Amino acid sequence: MQTIHSLADMTCWSNEVIGSGSTIALVPTMGYFHEGHLELMRSASRLADRVVVSLFVNSLQFGPSEDLASYPRDLARDSSMAADENVDILFVPTDIEMYEPDFNARVRVDGITDTLCGKQRPAHFEGVTTVVAKLFNIVKPHITVFGQKDFQQFCVIRKMIRDLNWDIEIVAHPIVREEDGLAMSSRNTYLSREERGKGLCLHKAIQHAKKRFDNGLTDAELLKSEIHDIISAYSGVSIDYISVVDKNNLSDKEVIDSNSVLALAVRVGQTRLMDNCFLGNDTETSN
């Protein structure tokens, strides 16, 4: 595995690969890898000839009171983990080259960003789409792989690709979970042992929702009320949102059907956790 820091060197490598007739898959990350990231890399290696994993803690997607400074970072650890997978390039650009002092451009996707996390974090997705657009232009991938845990992020990037006519296939990888059901996240490292136990309220809520839908419940408001009661039973957990949305456009659903996604976000202490599940025929990784 080769590590590249320079934007120009990254594009030069991609041009050579594309010129040889090979395909490139990009896995965008902010680092501090866990098994979920490694699953994305493995998926990418099955889908394309060469794999690029970007590692960049993107300042544009953090709000002024969020955890940019404390976000977990360990390049040596991440490099070692990526090297054990079929990764060709670990692309680690610098802040100064990604965002030069006179950088003023932004990429914005309206509508689909106004709900869920976008409602709670108004500037977040503009930062996400801007950095991903830059990565697409630098790396020139044929395929990009995103985790399904942040389902809204996947939908926003998919919409951006379609609206801007990028010739890139976007692939969603199912959520990868710990053995107890907690969705894997770099931010899980913030949790104390007690808080981690409380974070399992999300998985409990999802299990309840799937069972209720399988047994015939279609009233979204009733399901949300039941989930509110489940999560509220855990002290020290505050709810950001409980939503049932359409899996294609994230519009709110009143009647649950096979196109419905349950999306959840809570704060356990100071840590924000997200989870989701399809309430139809889509499946997710359970391990």
**pLDDT tens per residue, range 182-216:** 999 999 999 999 999 999 999 999 999 999 999 99
Cβ contacts of residue 75 below 8 Å, gap of 6+?
31, 55, 92
The widest CA-to-CA distance across the chain, in whole angstroms, is: 58
CB 96 within 8 A of CB 59: no
Note whether 143 and 24 are within 8 A (CB). yes
Q: How many domains does the chain have?
A: 2
> Using 50, 70 and 90 to split pLDDT, how confident is the model at 285?
very low
The residues annotated with a catalytic role in the active site are: 37
Q: Are residues 206 and 111 in the same domain?
A: no
pLDDT tens-digit readout, 135-170: 999 999 999 999 999 999 999 999 999 999 999 999
pLDDT: which is higher, 279 or 285 = 279
Q: How confident is the model at residue 283 (pLDDT cuts 50, 70, 90)?
A: low
Provide the domain limits for residue 90: 2-173
pLDDT over threshold 80, residue 286:
no
DSSP secondary structure string, 10-33? HHHHHHHHHHTT--EEEEEE-S--
Q: Are residues 15 and 112 in the same domain?
A: yes
What does the pLDDT read at residue 280?
77
- Tell me, what's the pLDDT at 104? 96
Look at residue 16 and tell me whether its pLDDT is greater than 50.
Answer: yes
Question: Are residues 61 and 195 part of one domain?
Answer: no
